[in-house]
Chain A
């Protein structure tokens, strides 16, 4: 919808993890466009603290895979200035919890320059960052703040739920002339799946994907909860027919695909690992109420983080980070 569809074959695929899919997207885009460069903390020789950029420094060198000082406001801001002057930077912010450190450059410069200058500038910057609980990293390395960026005017936000989505969406983000935030749930890096090999393969920003068709209830999920919801759907097969949608893009949001689904099922669970109040859940549900009120057969349900931070100790973390069991419970509330 927002990114021009590419004509590319999706017939030939390879099995990649999410980590490998992101790395492949970065490599392919850097190979095909010399204006693309990557910068962030430890992305170069170190290969990224979670190994995502491993090998890119060796292939492209330090000019295009730049280690920055630990100064998010400075290097995110430099990404904005570089994008405004004809470069196509991919800025890695190691953990999304650190995005606030660069808040001024994101909120007042990156998001507003195009509009404030009367549309006479492009802002082709991609911000990659990691999200999510589940590894005992405690509150300052486990947050899931993607709602802030989906909510803030002038920014686009994507949250891939599969390796193929990760590759296709990152390539679109890098090619986009708009600022795109690319949120990687770090518990997904080892998840593997089939990914198209054609370098022309991209996925449009603003389209959701029906990952599994069903009749009784729609689960709209993001990131790690897509896979968990697919597992739940498998478990419930024969008992309850669950349709699973990978939302993929938080902004723009694909209302049409969601509406088509709820017209069929009449029931919806929204599963997103972010705080429940005022979030992605609320936006999806509002759009269904606005557009498809008379298709609803049961109250809409949401699965997420109960407005807490992510604690350190394992039993506490397990309590608040949503998983497939929470999705299953929510389904049971409405069917």
Chain B
């Protein structure tokens, strides 16, 4: 059983709501970054919502995901709390990582979300390892790795898929082809047309789906999940999608023009799905407006939550390195404090 069924009205409405939540969360995060309220780097998922939500709706809550540097959408799709996500972006103690991870490293192991990841291509080996645990312990869990088109060029991604294929591990590798690896077009980084063609070299199924269509992504991942759970090994899916924003906020984007973006916006994953739900009578225009308002209020509340949350104490910088304490960290930190040069 999947966590959100696209087969029923409530499920479809929840899928729409999660896509709207991602759009609102990331639009807001972009504004807050521009205003200087969020430090570091922020990579927005706007335009790609159908991929994360379509995929996670096909997974069980016990299934694992690994994410990318563009991870907010995956977090929301997996059911993480926008309050604690926003608190993490603000570097607050109440954030998912107590302020130690930030935008690029949000994780919630309890929700089986094994982390956004600042290194391109680093997630697939972790997903292979999670799938290995599932197989080793005789569990039913599947591990899905989200990866970008750029990651397909990384050696460790090949190794991870090869290992999962060789051992028939319950893994799914979902390539989000948003057409740019940082600032270079995907077709200048790969010598194949569809990135799913690489599946042939592992002798696993591989196919490309419309990543602007949440239903198509959902069906593909559901099929891959069933295969994984039946012991038939991994599947490689490419979702053809588009990044409306730059690689990072503040990216001057010399590599494309607004016309390109507009062509994709005309097929916007949220608008098209909302229209479909209205057409089939799953919700009315008024209910859609209401849903948008609710989501907006939810994200506004998340911002307030984050602003009001406590910053960590400086001394917390020395926590969480190891499960078992090592004397070095305490000693070095206490010397800093004694000198008045750091800590409390």
Contact = CB atoms under 8 A, between A and B. Distances in A.
Interface of A: 1-4, 35, 37, 63-64, 66, 68-69, 71, 73-87, 89, 104-105, 108-109, 113-123, 153-154, 156, 176-178, 206, 251-253, 255
Contacts of A77: 122, 124-126, 128-129, 156, 159-160
Interface string B158-171: 11101100110000
Contact of B324 (A83, A121, A176): A176
B156 A104 contact: yes
A123 B155 CA distance: 24
Contacts of B320: 114-115, 118-119
Contacts of B143: 81
Nearest 10 CB-CB pairs, A to B? A81-B129, A77-B125, A74-B159, A119-B320, A118-B98, A177-B323, A81-B126, A71-B159, A78-B129, A73-B156
B323 A84 contact: no
Contacts of B132: 78, 81-82, 87
Interface in B121-135: 122, 124-134
B280 interface: no
Given A71-B159, A118-B99, A118-B101, A78 B125 contact: yes
Contacts of B341: none
A248 to B, nearest CB: 15
B328 interface: yes
Given A71-B162, A77-B129, A117 B118 contact: no
B97 interface: yes
Contact of A253 (B119, B125, B328): B328
Interface string B77-111: 00000000000000000011111110001011110
B1 interface: no
A81 B101 contact: no
Contacts of B101: 116-118
21 contacts: A1-B327, A2-B326, A73-B159, A77-B122, A77-B128, A77-B159, A78-B125, A78-B128, A81-B131, A84-B129, A108-B118, A109-B119, A113-B107, A116-B107, A118-B101, A121-B109, A123-B323, A176-B323, A178-B323, A178-B324, A252-B327
Nearest to A2: B324
Contacts of B166: 69
B163 A68 contact: yes
Interface of B: 64, 66, 95-101, 105, 107-110, 114-115, 117-119, 122, 124-134, 136-137, 143, 155-156, 158-160, 162-163, 166-167, 319-328
Given A73-B125, A86-B133, A252-B327, 5 more contacts: A74-B125, A77-B122, A104-B156, A108-B119, A120-B96
A79 B328 CA distance: 27
Contact of A82 (B117, B133, B160, B323): B133
Contacts of A119: 98, 319-320
A241 to B, nearest CB: 29
Contacts of A104: 119, 122, 156
Contacts of A73: 125, 155-156, 159
B136 A74 contact: no
A177 B126 CA distance: 17
Nearest to A205: B324
Contacts of B99: 118
Nearest to B88: A118
A90 B66 CA distance: 22
A109 B126 contact: yes
Most B CB atoms within 10 A — which of A2, A64, A66, A74? A74
B326 A206 contact: yes
A287 to B, nearest CB: 10
Contact of A69 (B127, B163, B326): B163
A255 B335 CA distance: 16
A122 to B, nearest CB: 5
Nearest to A113: B115
A3 B326 CA distance: 10
Contact of B109 (A84, A105, A176): A84
Most B CB atoms within 10 A — which of A105, A118, A119, A121? A118
Most B CB atoms within 10 A — which of A63, A66, A121? A121
B156 A120 contact: no
Contacts of B322: 2, 114, 154, 156, 178
Contacts of B117: 109
B114 A37 contact: no
Given A82-B133, A104-B119, A114-B320, A120 B109 contact: yes
B133 A81 contact: yes
Contact of A116 (B66, B105, B129): B105
A4 B323 CA distance: 12
Contacts of B163: 68-69, 71, 74-75, 78
B107 A120 contact: yes
A122 B326 contact: no
A251 B205 CA distance: 45
B133 A87 contact: yes
Most B CB atoms within 10 A — which of A69, A115, A153, A154? A115
Most A CB atoms within 10 A — which of B159, B162, B319, B325? B159
Given A74-B163, A81-B128, A85-B129, A37 B328 contact: no
Contacts of A178: 322-324
Contacts of B96: 117-118, 120
Contacts of A35: 137
Nearest to A121: B109
B116 to A, nearest CB: 10
Nearest to A206: B326
Given A80-B129, A84-B126, A252 B115 contact: no
Given A69-B163, A75-B163, A115-B100, A82 B129 contact: yes
